[in-house]
Structure 1
Amino acid sequence: MKKALCFFLFLFVFHLQAQERPKLVVGIVVDQMKMDYLYRFSNDFTNDGFKRLMDNGYVFHNMNYNYMPTFTAPGHASIYTGTTPSVHGIVGNDWFSRKLGKEIYCTDDASVKTIGDGTKAEGEMSPKKLLTTTITDELRLATNFKGKVIGMSLKDRGAILPAGHFANWAFWYSKTGAFVSSTFYGEKLPDWVTEFNNEKHFMTYINKGWDLLKPLETYNESLADENPYEGKLNGANPVFPYNLKEMLEKKNAEILRATPFGNDLLLELAKKAIENEELGKDNITDFLAVSFSSTDYVGHNLGPRSMEIQDTYLRLDLTLADFLNYLDKMVGKGNYLVFLTADHAGAENPLYLKDKKYNVDNVFPKDILKGLKKFSVETFGEDLVLNCSNFNLHFNKDLIKAKSLELSKVKQAFKEYLMTQDQVKRVYTEEEILASNGADFYLNCIAKGYDATEDGDMVILNKPGYIDHFIATGTDHGTPYSYDTHVPLLFYGWNVPKGETHDHKDITQIAPTLAQKLKITFPNGTEGKVLLEVLDTNPNMINKKTTK
C-alpha cells in the first residue's frame, strides 16, 4: 500500500513539474547571421558564448526560411508568429502597397507619437500592420496580461514586431543616441529608460573607437583589412582602427549601429530591463525579445568576408557570454529559456565571386527600372510601370485600361522581356503565384511571401548569386536561395535537452514550439508544425531522432 501511494505521489509531483514554465524566455535574433559563421569563427570563440549554447543546448544545423523575400521585418515577424508574409502581412521592410497605391513602411503609424529624445518620425511606430498574433501576444493572453513582454533592438522593426500587439514596451535606438518608444505603449518612457538615456552610455563606445579585438593573425578566416569588396563605414575607408569620435562629429549617434558596440549598448539596456521590470522574478513567465542589429549594418557595408564582420562576431560572442552569466545570476540557471536565431542570412559579394571565375555580376535596381520603362514605351507607347521594388513589378492598371490594353498580354510581354535579361531566372505572374501547388520550390517560396492585397502583378526571381543592390560592395539579401535562407537556431536552458540535428527545419516552427513548451495557445496564423527535438526531453528518443 505504501509503495503504491509513493508511486502515485511520484506521478503527481512529476506531473506538476512537467507543467512548470520557465520564469523568463529570452528570444535573441542576430540580424543577417549566416549559419556558416558558427563554423567559420568557431576556433576564435570563447567557451562561454555561442559555444555554451551549442555545447549545452540543442543545435538545429539546418534551419531555413521557407519564403521570399528574406528581409528583416518579415524575418522577425515570421519567427514570432510562426507563419509567413502571405499570412502575417509583413511583406518587406517597406513596400509599394497595391491597396494604398504608395510606398509604406512596416511599422509606420501616424496615430502615435514619439516618446523619449527622438525625432518625430522615429517614434511614429506600432505593430498595427502585423495581421496575426505572436508568441509574445499569446503569452500575455495566457497569463491574463500578468506576464511581462518587452522588445528591444537598434531597429524599430526589430523591437516592435517580436514584441507583438500586447507588449508592455518596445524600445529602439534613435540617431540622438537615446532609446525611444511610442505612445502605442505608454505616455512616457519608464524612469529607468530615461535615466539610462541621460547617462549617454553610447559615448563610452564612441570615445574608445573600434580596433581589432584580437591580434591580426587571428583573422585568417577573412580577407585583407582593405579589399575591393568592402564599402565605406560611416563615410570612412574600411581600415582598422576606426575613429568613432570623428564619425560622430560628421554625422550623429546613428554611427554606433554599424559597429559591434551597438550590440553592447543593447545588452546594457536589456540588463536594465531585467532588473527594473523584475523580469523572471516570479513564477509567471515573462518574455524579453532582443534583436542584435549591428551585425546587419556591418555586413551590408563590408560584406561577409571582411575582418570587420569577423571582429563583430567575436565581440558578439563575448556579449552573449556576459548576457548568459547575467541571466544565471539574476534569474537562475535552469529558470530561463533562450533561443537564438537570425532574421535572414546574406549573400557573397558578386564581385568577389566574379573575380574567382563564377559567372555572376551586380544588378542595380535603377538599371532594372530604367530598362523596364524603356521597354514599355517602345512596346506600348506608354510607361506602364507603376513601381518596381522588392522583386515586385506593379503595373499602372488605370493607364492600361485607358489604352484599351489587355492586362494578360501586357504581363506576357513584360515576362518575355525580363526572361531575356542575364540575371533573371524566372518571372511569375500573380495568377501563377496564387495557383501555386508546391511542386515548384521557388514558386512555393514566393507564394508564401506574397500578399495579394499588397504585392505586385509579377514577381521576378534572379539567378543564384545575383544581388539587387544599390552599390557594388558589401552584401544584401532577399532571395529564396540557401545563402539568404540558412540561419542558426540554438535552444538553451529550461527543459532543453542537449543534442543536435541536421534535418531540414522551417523558421515558422519556432513560435508553435515555444507555445507547446509554455503550454499556451498557438499564434493564430501558424500551421502549428513544431520542433519535436526540444519538446521530447527523453535522451534516448532524442538520440534516435538525430541519427536518422
Structure 2
Amino acid sequence: MKYKLVTLLLITAFGFSHAQDSESIRPKLVLQITVDQFRGDLPTRFLDRLGEGGLRYLIENGTYYSNAHYRHANTETAVGHATLFTGADPSRHGLVGNNWIDPSTGDVVYNTEDARYHIIGKDQKPHNGVSPNNILSTTIGDELVISNAGQSRVFSVSVKDRGAIIPGGHAGKAFWYSKSSGKFVTSTYYYDEYPQWAQDWNDSGPADQYRGKTWDLIQDPSTYYAKDLDDRPYEADFQPLGKTFPHQYGDDKYLYTRLSLSPAGDELTLDFAKTLMKNENVGHGVNTDFLAISFSSTDYIGHLFGPSSLETEDNILRLDRNLADLFSYVDKTVGLKNTLIVLSADHGAPEAPEYMTEIGMEAGRFDFTYFREQGPLNEILMERYGRDDLIATHSHPYLYLNMAAIAEAKLDLEEVENFIADEVMKIPGIAYAQTKSDLLEGRISNAPLQVQIRRNFHPVRSGNIHMIQEQYWFLHSTDEGQKMGLEGIAAIHGSPWAYDTYVPIFFAGNGIKAQTITRRVSPTDIAPTISNYLNIKFPSGSIGNPLKEVFIKENN
C-alpha cells in the first residue's frame, strides 16, 4: 500500500511521460472503441445478464471511470468522435456539429465533406466526397504516426462514415458501411483502389445473409426489464422493421439500410474489422499500431426506439457478445497483454419526452422544421424590422442569420442577434440563447451553460445564435430520419444536459489495473492519456489531462 501511494505521488508530481516502469510492455496495438450513444449508465444497467469477456471484462479487469462528462454543449456524433480522438473541445478541433453553414456560400457543410475525394467506385458528385480535412487538430493516431516516421499504422472502421473518418485522423485508413450496397467503402483520400482483401470481403456479400431474416430477442423474454414496453406510440415505424419483436429485415432494396439500424450493423462492423486485422497484420508491425472501431447500432436503435426500450436492452446484450468476440480475437492474434484497450462513447442519450411526461416531468418536442421555415419568429421580425427574411436557416444547435438581408436593410447585426435571442428565450421549451457577438466580445459569464456554449464555439463555423432546449425537450430531429420518410423518432441527443454528456471511459489490457474511479473526468482526457502512455506528444488541439490512475499497473 505504501509503495502504491508513493508511486501515485511521484506520478502526480512529475508528470506521466515516463510513468510506465521498465517492466511495462509497450503495447503492440492500441484498440480504441467508440460505442455510439452509449450513455454512462448503460454498461452496468444489465450487469446481471452480461456474459463473460465483453463489458464484464472491462468492468472487472480495467480502469473504469464511471463519472465522465463531455464539456461542450452540442453532443452530436461528429463532435464527440472528434473530441475523443483529439482531446480537444469543438472550439479547437472545429467540428461544431454534424453539419454547419459555410458563411461564404451559404451551403450546408457535412462534417467530413470534401469534394476532392470521392467514394472509390462511385462517380464524383457535389457534396458526396469525404475526407478528414475538416478536423482542425491532429488526432492521437496522427501523433503516433508522426512519432516514429510512419512505422505505426492507423486503421478505422464503422457503419457511419463520420464514425470511421474522424477517428482515423489525417494519417489513417478508414472504411465505413454503405447503406445502398451493404459493402464497406472508402474514398480516394485513402486509396486509389480497394485493397484486395476488402474487395474479397465485399464480393462475398456478408450483408446478404440477413435477407428474409428477423431480429429476435437474444435471451428469455421474461428476463428483460422492458418486456412490457415493446410497442410505444412514439417509437419510429420503419417498415418492415416495425416497432415490435420480431423485427423483419425484409428482402428489398432497403435491406442494407435496415441492417444499419439494427444489431446487424455492429455484427458486420466486427466481421470487417477482424478481416482487416488479419489481412493487414494489425498489431504485428514494426511499432505500435492503432485500430479504431466505432459501433453505431446503439445510436440508431436509441433514436428509433429510445434508450429505455426493449430494443436497446437487447442490443446492449448483443453488443456485450460482440465485444467478447472482439477481445477474444485480439487475445488470440495480438494478445490482450500486448493491447491497450480504450472504450468510450461520443455522447449520451435522453429518454423520450413522452416517457418523461408519464413520470410527471414537463417535456416536449419542436417540429423538425420549426426554426427552418417561416413561423412565429419571422412574424416578429417583420413587425420589428419590416423584413421576415433575416433568419437564413437552423442547423442544430445554431440559428444562422441572413447576412445579406441584414446588410441590405442597414441593420446592426449585434442588435438583431440580441433581439432574436431574447425572442427565442420566450418560446416554451427553450432554456437559453447565446449570441455570436457576445461570444466574440467575451461578454459571457462562467455559468455552466455559457461555458459549455463557449467550448463549442468556432468563430467561422458556428452560427449567430446558439439555442439550448429545456431538459427533455427535443429541438431537432435527424436528417437521416427525414430522408427515410420517418414522421418522427423516439429520442434525439444534442443538448448540454447531463443525460447527453454522460459517457463511460474504460482502459484495459496491457497490465492496466482493475479499479473504478468515481471522480469527474472528461473524454478530452483520453487522447492525452494515450499520448503519455505511448510517450508521444499530445494532439495539437488537446486541452485534457492524463488520467493518472491508468499509469498504476496491476503489479504495483
TM-score by length of 1: 0.91
| Partner deviation per Cα, 1:187-234 (whole Å, 9 max, x = no partner) | 101100000000001112334321111121121245521112311135
Alpha-carbon distance in structure 1 between the residues aligned to 2:46 and 2:422: 44
Aligned Cα root-mean-square deviation (Å): 2.1
Structure 1 Cα separation of the partners of residues 407 and 494 of structure 2: 32
User: Whose helix proportion is higher, 1 or 2?
Assistant: 1
| Aligned match of 2:225 | 220
- Runs of 4+ displaced beyond 6 Å: none
> Counterpart of 2:315?
312
Counterpart for residue 16 of structure 2? none
Q: Which of the residues 189, 199, 206 maps onto 1:194?
A: 199
Decide which moves more: 61-70 or 395-404. Answer: 395-404
In the TM superposition, residue 140 of structure 1 has moved relative to its aligned partner by 0.8
- Determine whether 1:427 maps to 2:437: no
Measured in 2, the distance between the counterparts of 1:342 and 1:178 equals 25
User: Which residue in the other structure is 1:159 paired with?
Assistant: 164
Are residue 357 (structure 1) and residue 373 (structure 2) matched? no
Contact 1:114 1:120 (8 Å CA) reproduced: no
1:258 aligned onto 2:258: no
What's the CA shift for 1:372?
2.1
Structure 1 partner of 2:415: 409
Residue 520 (str. 1) matches residue 541 (str. 2)? no
Q: Decide whether the 8 Å contact of 1:392 with 1:456 is kept in 2.
A: yes
Residue 141 of structure 1 aligns with an amino acid whose one-letter code is I
Q: Do the aligned partners of residues 178 and 475 (structure 1) sit closer, same or farther apart at CA in structure 2, a change above 3 Å counting?
A: same
The structure-2 alpha-carbon separation of the partners of 1:15 and 1:493, relative to structure 1 and needing over 3 Å to count, comes to closer
Report Cα offsets for 1:144-171 as digits up to 9, x if no partner.
Answer: 1111110110111110110000114444
Cα distance 1:361–1:123, how it changes in 2: closer, same or farther (>3 A)?
closer
Identity of aligned residues (%): 34
Question: SS where residue 336 of structure 2 aligns?
Answer: coil
Contact 1:301-1:473 within 8 A present in 2 as well: yes
Q: Answer yes or no: is the 8 Å Cα contact 2:86–2:539 preserved in 1.
A: yes
Q: In structure 2, what is the equivalent of residue 485 of structure 1?
A: 501
Task: Note the 1:34-183 alignment, pairs <5 A.
Answer: 34-116=39-121, 124-183=129-188
Moved more, 394-403 or 142-151: 394-403
CA distance in 2, matches of 1:118, 1:407: 42
Q: Which amino acid aligns with 1:512?
A: P
Partner amino acid for 2:39? Answer: K
1:273 counterpart = 2:289 = no
Question: In the alignment, is the contact (CA less than 8 A) between 1:60 and 1:489 conserved in 2?
Answer: yes
Partner Cα separation in structure 2 for residue 337 and residue 374 of structure 1: 57
Separation in 1, partners of 2:264, 2:256: 12
The CA distance in 1 between the partners of 2:475 and 2:511, in whole Å, is 43
1:6 aligns with: none
Relative distance call for 1:122 and 1:413 in structure 2 (3 A) is closer
Q: In the alignment, does 2:303 pair up with 1:300?
A: yes
User: TM-score scaled to structure 2, two decimals?
Assistant: 0.90
Residue ranges of structure 2 left out of the alignment (5+ in a row): 1-18, 478-486
Pick closer, same or farther for the CA change 1:378–1:101 going to 2, 3 Å: same
- Which of the numbers 447, 454, 458 marks the counterpart of 1:451? 458
Instruction: Tell me what 1:476 maps to.
Output: 492
CA contact (8 A) 2:66 2:504 kept: yes
Question: Following the alignment from structure 1 to structure 2, what is the Cα–Cα distance between the partners of residues 391 and 16?
Answer: 46
**Secondary structure, in 3 states, of the residue corresponding to 1:338?**
strand
| Distance in 1 of aligned mates of 2:545 and 2:191 | 35
Three-state SS of the structure 2 residue aligned to 1:159 is helix
Distance 2:36 2:516 in 1: 23
Question: How far is the alpha carbon of 1:460 from its aligned partner?
Answer: 1.2
Match of 1:284 in 2: 287
**Contact 2:305/2:490 (8 A) holds in 1:** yes
Report the secondary structure of 1:310's partner residue: helix
Q: 2:427 aligns to what SS in structure 1? A: coil
1:363–1:469: 8 Å Cα contact kept in structure 2? yes
Aligned counterpart, 2:346:
343
Q: Distance in 1 between matches of 2:281 and 2:127?
A: 28
Q: 1:433 to 1:235 in 2, by over 3 A?
A: farther
The offset of 1:117, in angstroms, is 7.1
Q: Is the contact between residue 85 and residue 450 of structure 1 (CA under 8 Å) also seen in structure 2?
A: yes
